[in-house]
């Protein structure tokens, strides 16, 4: 080997060594960048870089794939490690339910879901009442409005509903404190429950002041009042949590009702409520919960006449209606469960049935949803007499649970009886 050859090799080796080091630094740079700047880094093959924007035209991404990829992205990019995948999934469900902008379709946190399920089994905690969100009639939309809570980002633009105690468990804490079905919650422990009524008041006042009808001082007063309220406000959903969870402690609740305001201090405790209860001879209060059908058919056995009390009942699902109809009504078709926008309707019908006694059904302004559908169905099919005026919203729901204990209730249709029955208004 000549000296030239030798020095060539040495030079080659030195260059190679330097290139190795530089190459190492460069490659590291890319690897690290790949973890930080996805959009520009080609190294992000693993998460399906196909979804990241390049020069391509805007394309739709199928939801399942989109969700998986976004979850990957979050898990890789977010500053804190995300250990709980399920949290992301249930968060997404919360967001989707909230986006329906329907106060009857509600997402429940695990704690609230547990209490909803317990109440269906007859075990109430908190103040012992059923709660529903109700949008007051003629409630105006508020631009950039106030969220109802519990609904994720998409619920932000919706109207804020009232939190109504639709039914009060007899003998329970709320009942003893004098709460009546239909009362709605104005504040809990000094926290004002957000709703649009005050916004509407402010808007009216502002218009009056603009038009010169009222002095400006009036608006200032209102402004001060609203600011104080907003400082301590909670969302209706959180208020429901405070009222329906826990078996110890006191809660101070201010209620509103058409006749005025009622302030109560309620000691929380556990209360039981049966699915069917004979409140006076021949009068049975019915809650649309699992087991109601069995008790109902026992109660109806051998009777020629009976009265079903559905006053204040707003809870129940489609399945519960079908079971109760099977228990007390004849087999056959009762009507249709209607849906909107070209979604097909489905029949509400039973396979089996019973010879019904002569029925009278008591309803009131809080009777809505599945219980109202039941009343309308029995009226249409077996000529049950309906006494009172129901809410006029016989929607049907499904309750779904999720693996982490949370769940949601979804409106799946509105009941429409076969024979015309004037929208639940009858005497």
- CB of 244 vs another protein, minimal distance in Å: 17
Crossing angle of helices 63-77 and 3-36, rounded to 10°? 110
CB of 139 to another protein, least distance (A): 14
**Region binding another protein by CB under 8 A among candidate stretches 10-18, 111-119, 381-389, 419-427:** 10-18
Instruction: Report the site for another protein in 353-392 (rule: CB under 8 A).
Output: none
Q: Which is nearer to another protein, 283 or 402 (CB)?
A: 402
Give the Cα separation of 219 and 210 in Å (integer). 10
Footprint of another protein on 232-251 (CB under 8 A): 234-235, 237-238
Q: How far apart are CA 373 and CA 417, in angstroms?
A: 8
State yes or no: residue 197 binds another protein (CB under 8 A): no
Nearest distance from C-beta of residue 309 to another protein, angstroms: 28
Give SS3 for 177. Answer: coil
Question: In the range 396-415, which residues lie near another protein by CB under 8 A?
Answer: 398, 400, 402-403, 408, 410-414
Near another protein by CB under 8 A, which window of 195-203, 285-293, 367-375, 380-388?
A: 195-203
Taking CB under 8 A as the rule, which mask of x and - marks residues 20-39 in contact with another protein?
xxxxxxxxxx-xx-xxxxxx
- Residue 14 in the binding site for another protein (CB under 8 A): no
The residue within the footprint of another protein, chosen from 2, 4, 5, 59 (CB under 8 A), is 59
- Per CB under 8 A, 223 contacts another protein: yes
Number of neighbours of residue 402 by Cβ within 10 angstroms? 17
Of 271 and 397, the one with the shorter C-beta distance to another protein is 397
Q: DSSP for 26-48?
A: HHHHHHHHHHH-TTT-TTGGGG-
Size of the site for another protein (CB under 8 A): 117
Residue 396: closest CA among 376, 412, 378: 412
Sign of the C-alpha dihedral, residues 85, 87, 92, 96? positive
Smaller CB separation from another protein, 53 or 355 = 53
DSSP per-residue letters across 309-346: E-TT-----HHHHHHHHHHHS-SEEEEEEE-STTPPPE
- Choose one: 93-101, 118-126, 172-180, 376-384; the region binding another protein (CB under 8 A): 93-101
Q: Does 1 participate in binding another protein (rule CB under 8 A)? A: no
Among all chains, which residue has been given the structure tokens 């916004």?
199
Q: What is the DSSP letter of 417?
A: E
- In the complex, the smallest distance separating the C-beta of residue 387 from another protein, rounded to whole angstroms, is 28
Q: Are 273 and 168 in contact (CB under 8 A)?
A: no
Nearest CB to another protein, comparing residues 104 and 287: 104
Per the document, the length of the chain is: 427
Among 3, 64, 137, 259, binds another protein (CB under 8 A): 64
Burial 346-366 (b: 16+ CB within 10 A, else e): eebbbeebbebbebbbbbbeb
Q: Does 201 bind another protein (CB under 8 A)?
A: no
417 near another protein (CB under 8 A): no
Check binding of 203 to another protein (CB under 8 A): yes
Rounded Cα gap, residues 280 and 364, in angstroms: 18
Taking CB under 8 A as the criterion, which residues in 264-303 touch another protein? none
Closest CA to 373 of 418, 343, 409: 418
Q: Does 41 bind another protein (CB under 8 A)?
A: no
Which residues from 328-357 bind another protein, rule CB under 8 A? 338-343
Q: Where are the beta strands (DSSP E) in 117-243?
A: 123-124, 129-134, 162-168, 184-188, 191-192
| Dihedral sign (CA 240, 244, 248, 250) | positive
Counting contacts by CB under 8 A, is residue 218 touching another protein? no
Q: Is 191 in the site for another protein (CB under 8 A)?
A: no
CA-nearest of 281, 303, 310, 296 to 370 is: 310
Taking the complex as a whole, how short is the minimal distance between the CB of residue 137 and another protein, in angstroms? 20
């Amino acid at each position: 080997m000549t000296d030239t050859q030798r020095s060539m090799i040495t030079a080659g080796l030195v260059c190679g060594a330097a290139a190795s080091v530089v190459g190492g630094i460069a490659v590291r740079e890319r690897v690290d960048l790949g973890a930080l700047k996805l959009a520009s880094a080609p190294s992000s093959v693993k998460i399906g870089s196909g979804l990241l924007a390049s020069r391509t035209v805007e394309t739709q991404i199928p939801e399942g794939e989109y969700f998986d990829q976004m979850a990957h992205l979050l898990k890789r990019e977010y500053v804190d490690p995300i250990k709980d995948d399920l949290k992301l999934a249930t968060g997404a469900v919360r967001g989707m339910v909230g986006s329906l902008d329907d106060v009857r379709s509600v997402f429940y946190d695990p704690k609230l879901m547990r209490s909803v399920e317990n109440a269906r089994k007859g075990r109430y905690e908190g103040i012992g009442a059923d709660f529903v969100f109700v949008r007051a009639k003629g409630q105006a939309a508020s631009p950039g409005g106030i969220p109802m809570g519990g609904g994720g980002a998409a619920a932000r633009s919706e109207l804020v509903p009232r939190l109504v105690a639709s039914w009060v468990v007899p003998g329970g804490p709320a009942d003893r404190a004098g709460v009546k079905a239909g009362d709605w919650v104005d504040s809990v422990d000094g926290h004002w429950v957000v709703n649009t009524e005050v916004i509407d008041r402010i808007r009216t006042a502002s218009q009056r002041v603009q038009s010169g009808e009222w002095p400006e001082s009036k608006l200032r007063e209102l402004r001060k009042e609203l600011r104080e309220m907003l400082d301590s406000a909670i969302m209706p959903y959180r208020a429901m949590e405070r009222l329906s969870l826990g078996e110890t402690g006191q809660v101070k609740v201010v209620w509103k009702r058409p006749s005025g305001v009622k302030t109560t201090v309620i000691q929380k405790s556990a209360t039981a409520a049966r699915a069917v209860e004979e409140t006076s001879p021949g009068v049975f209060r019915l809650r649309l919960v699992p087991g109601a059908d069995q008790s109902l058919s026992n109660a109806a056995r051998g009777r020629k006449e009976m009265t079903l009390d559905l006053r204040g009942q707003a809870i129940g699902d489609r399945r519960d209606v079908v079971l109760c109809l099977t228990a007390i009504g004849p087999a056959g078709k009762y009507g249709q469960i209607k849906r909107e926008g070209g979604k097909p309707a489905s029949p509400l019908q039973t396979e089996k049935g019973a010879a019904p006694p002569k029925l009278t059904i008591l309803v009131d302004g809080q009777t809505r949803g599945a219980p109202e559908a039941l009343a309308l169905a029995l009226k249409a099919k077996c000529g049950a007499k309906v006494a009172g005026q129901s809410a006029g919203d016989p929607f049907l729901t499904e309750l779904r649970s999720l693996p982490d204990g949370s769940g949601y209730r979804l409106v799946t249709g509105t009941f429409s009886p076969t024979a015309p029955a004037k929208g639940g208004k009858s005497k």
